[in-house]
Amino acid sequence: MSDEKKKMTEGNCAICGRFGKLSFEHVPPQSAFNDRPIFVQNHTHLTDENSPLHGKKAKSNKGFGGYTLCISCNNLTGDWYARDFGTFAHQGMAIISNIQEPQYYITGEYFIKPLNVIKQIMTMFMSADKSGILQSQSDLVRLLLDRESNLWPERYKIFLYSNLSSVKRLWGYSVVFDEELGMQKWSEINFRPFGYLLADESIAAHEDMLDITYFSRYEYNQDATLILRTPYLPVSSPELGRYG
């Protein structure tokens, strides 16, 4: 293995924090339509005009995601949460695909395991965070590595919206100044049929987003039938928290 490749696949796990070999974490999981090669642009491609990579794209044959989790954390969260999240995503895709006329609010009935779903979403946000801020929060680490735990830290809220855009977002934990909302701490993942926003002691990036933090009140593997009403927010740029 080349030194460059080794550097890419070794580091601190985004959940447990241990240093070692990292495995590729699909964000979202492969079962949620993330099983094909994809072209991606990172900060250098988008903003560094002095870089030869500016304006270009890189191909990820594995799909959306990166080498962020150790093998143990990847396997555990995959076994515990990922499959149920995939079920949730497939139900959302079926609901939005069956709508005959364009609608702003997408309403549908879901038969899911809510705690498993929201813990997979938090796993995705942990994986997306390059700052290490989320990994440093021991309550989040305990939440994800104890499959039975539903002790959700009150400072974090997760919001949901519907979307079929070909533009995808994977924004790790960021401190953002919004002219209308002020200083906010957000992370965002957009991958059809949904977009997900993590807010840390902050409000939603869009007032119509659906707060699904209550998913955390369920027990592990508990089934529930839920009626969800999500806004359809167009995503046309990689910019965090911008729609239309």
Residue 214 has pLDDT above 90, yes or no: yes
> How many C-beta atoms lie closer than 10 Å to residue 31's C-beta?
17
Please state the domain extents for the chain.
3-231
Instruction: Between 134 and 6, name the one with better pLDDT.
Output: 134
Going through 52-168 in order, the beta strands assigned E by DSSP cover 58-60, 65-70, 105-112, 156-162
In the prediction, which pLDDT does 63 show?
Answer: 83
Residue 59 has pLDDT above 90, yes or no: no
Q: Kindly report, residue by residue over 2-56, the tens digit of the pLDDT.
A: 444 444 689 999 999 999 999 999 999 999 999 876 755 445 434 445 545 334 3
Mean pLDDT of 161-168: 92
Q: How far apart are the first and last CA of the chain?
A: 44
Look over the chain and give the mean of its residue pLDDT values, rounded to a whole number: 89
Tokens of 126: 């942990």
Taking a C-beta distance cutoff of 8 angstroms, is the pair 238, 167 a contact? yes
pTM for this predicted structure: 0.89
Percent of the chain having pLDDT more than 90? Answer: 78
| pLDDT band at residue 64 under the 50/70/90 scheme | confident
In the prediction, which pLDDT does 53 show?
Answer: 38
In the prediction, which pLDDT does 60 show?
Answer: 61
| pLDDT band at residue 238 under the 50/70/90 scheme | confident
Instruction: Between 100 and 91, name the one with better pLDDT.
Output: 91
Taking a C-beta distance cutoff of 8 angstroms, is the pair 221, 116 a contact? yes
Q: What is the DSSP letter of 30?
A: G
Mean pLDDT of 178-186: 93
Percent of the chain having pLDDT more than 70? Answer: 86
CA angle 155, 19, 150 (to 5 degrees): 30
Say which range, 35-49, 56-70, 139-153, has the weakest mean pLDDT.
Answer: 35-49
Q: Kindly report, residue by residue over 202-211, the tens digit of the pLDDT.
A: 999 999 999 9
Nearest to 94 by CA among 164, 23, 176, 18: 164
Residue 111 has pLDDT above 50, yes or no: yes
Distance CA 155, CA 200 (A): 6
CA distances to 7, 167, 207 from 197, in Å: 30, 16, 12
